[in-house]
Amino acid sequence: MQCWLFKTEPDLFGIEDLARAADQTARWDEIRNYQARNFLRDDVKVGDQVFIYHSSCKAVGIAGLAEVVRAAYPDPSQFDPSHALFDAKAVVGSPRWFCVDVRLRQRFSDVIPLRQLKAMPELAGMTLLRQGRLSVQPVSDAERRAILGIL
DNA sequence: GCCAACGTTGGC
DNA sequence: GCCAACGTTGGC
């Protein structure tokens, strides 16, 4: 079992939306970054755990935990001309962008603030803290335990 | 709103 | 393949 961190802007889609979704399950789509895409397409598997991270908002940090319930499939938004992220270069049968489905497992009573994560020596090497802009990223076992240990 | 860091595009 | 210009992310 691999663990991941997925970023999202809660003003657009946050953990509250995931909690309200049917079966608390939602498509994790609209990823348009190749490094993130490659992780989604090649490495994210059913049963993997996912920390849900809220960015660009008031309470920046980790909001909860989800689980992958469907592995990579073509992101439909790339083929939809009315969609803001429509990709004219994407070809059905040879898609560029992928998505997965996740189900909520646990909504943390409080968002774990980014500030607190930054202060933890165990997380000093974490991708989140080292690489600014990556919306799908692996979390090591030690990092996962350190984060869950906060709860 | 600012701005640093990083990714993408496109001319050559 | 280089690199300048431009666009986006995302914390503050």
Q: Is the CB of A60 under 7 A from strand C?
A: yes
Q: Provide CB contacts within 8 A for A39, sequence distance 6+.
A: A4, A136, A137, A138
pLDDT classification of A150: cutoffs 50, 70, 90: very high
Architecture of the domain delimited by A3-144: Roll (3.10)
- In chain A, what are the domain boundaries? 3-144
Bridge-based pairing of strands A3-8 and A49-54 is: parallel
Mean of pLDDT over chain A: 94
Q: Which residue is nearest to nucleotide B4 (CA to C1')?
A: A132
Q: Which residue is nearest to nucleotide C10 (CA to C1')?
A: A56
Q: Is the CB of A58 under 7 A from strand C?
A: no
- Structure confidence by residue, pLDDT tens digits, A61-94: 999 999 999 999 999 999 888 888 888 788 888 8
- Structure confidence by residue, pLDDT tens digits, A93-126: 889 999 999 999 999 999 999 999 999 999 999 9
Q: What is the pLDDT of residue A48?
A: 98
